[in-house]
Structure 1
Amino acid sequence: MEGIVVRRVIPSDNSCLFNAVGYVMDHDKHRAPELRQVIAATVASDPRKYNQAFLGKSNVEYCGWILNPEKWGGAIELAILSEYYGREIAAYDIQTTRCDLYGQDRNYRERVMLIYDGLHYDALAMSPFEGAPEEFDQTIFTVDNGRSIGHVEGLTLNLVRDAQSEWTNC
């Protein structure tokens, strides 16, 4: 698909990570309750892996905590959601332009992208043109043998650098 990479704004309601993942995976910005349940079930199912040292709280306490819609998600949740969907999740940090890639060690054949400003996650998509309706968005990209998604990566980095420039000029 040719076009431009666009930032699809997700509401700032403390569930932005979950709703951004819902959008890039399923074109649904209202997946937070379901995805919080997925994470809690995953964590509860493996208390040895998801222990107090890993989670920063007990397994049971974390499960209750992540189900609270006022609580934010981060790296732990992105790693679990990458495995749940069987796709890499690239999270671009506006402040540093760094890309944290979740699931890269699993050789998944597809990748989705998010953008993060230190407090908030939005979704990234390929759109055929500026202002195109969201139903035309491509949000899932094939990962090649070089572990790249081709020219989309360059377009995404340009968008992230532009966002960083705007962020630092605020």
Structure 2
Amino acid sequence: MRNYSQHEILAMADESVVVRRVIPSDNSCLFNAVGYVMDKDKHKAKELRQVIAATVLSDPTTYSEAILGKPNQEYVEWISNPDKWGGAIELAILSDHYGREIAAYDIQTKRCDLYGQGKGYIERVMLLYDGLHYDALGLAPFPGAPEEVDQTIFSVDKNGNIGSASRLAERVVEEAHRARKFTDTGNFTLRCGVCQKGAVGQAEAVEHAKATGHTNFQEYS
């Protein structure tokens, strides 16, 4: 693979685009997406799950059952399981762990949830969420550029902005939204892989899982 010089990259800066870097769908996409934007490493899930588990275990007052949705120790065991997904709690902890803001763009709503905001962090990274899956966002110097030259960490100015990167990210979100590249978790249909019972939406699937202990669901149309 060709290595691009700094001069070439700067010369092509006016062609910069925010690109979606796909993370494998292995139930650890949030952690590996964070690993990529923070460390350029798509294989950080095990380490980052341990970071979250240690943080939660060390502060049972902050991370109480009311916050976690389950007892502290039970949550620690749960999040350490590579089959379990992460969400807002984990993003907030990882933002503090790295000392950087994490902007998570939601394709369906076009909303941007910003973790770490107001804590004085001077850098930000960006993720893309489709309702079930997280991918990473990076700024490439030109369309088709290799991942090696992505910029994934952006300086936050005194007004809380990161320059053109946020505008380019919003364009990616808008295009994905128009193409309906998201899963409507309120209305999508699932089938339990254990007993084959159908469920409509995430809430019904959660209730079925609580009642039966079944957690293997597949989406179907």
TM-score relative to the length of structure 2: 0.75
Deviations 1:129-148 (A, max 9, x none): 11111110000000000000
Equivalence for 1:124: 137
What percent of counterpart residues are identical?
A: 68
Deviations 1:15-57 (A, max 9, x none): 0000000000000000000000000000000000000000000
**Distance in 2 of aligned mates of 1:141 and 1:167:** 28
Deviation at residue 167 of structure 1 after TM alignment: 1.6
SS of alignment partner, residue 30 of structure 2? helix
Equivalence for 2:25: 12
Alignment counterpart, residue 164 of structure 1, candidates 177, 198, 203:
177
Structure 1 unaligned blocks of 5 or more: none
4+ long deviations beyond 2 Å: none
Equivalence for 2:147: 134
**Distance in 1 of aligned mates of 2:172 and 2:71:** 39
Equivalence for 1:88: 101
**Distance in 1 of aligned mates of 2:48 and 2:31:** 6
Kindly provide the amino acid, as one letter, of the partner of residue 52 in structure 1.
Answer: E
Aligned residues: 170
SS of alignment partner, residue 156 of structure 1? helix
CA RMSD of aligned residues (A): 1.3
**Distance in 2 of aligned mates of 1:5 and 1:52:** 38
Which structure has the greater CA radius of gyration?
Answer: 2
Kindly provide the amino acid, as one letter, of the partner of residue 76 in structure 1.
Answer: I
TM-aligned CA distance change 1:33 to 1:58, over 3 Å: same
TM-score relative to the length of structure 1: 0.97
Equivalence for 1:30: 43
Structure having greater relative contact order (Cα 8 Å, sep ≥ 6)? 1
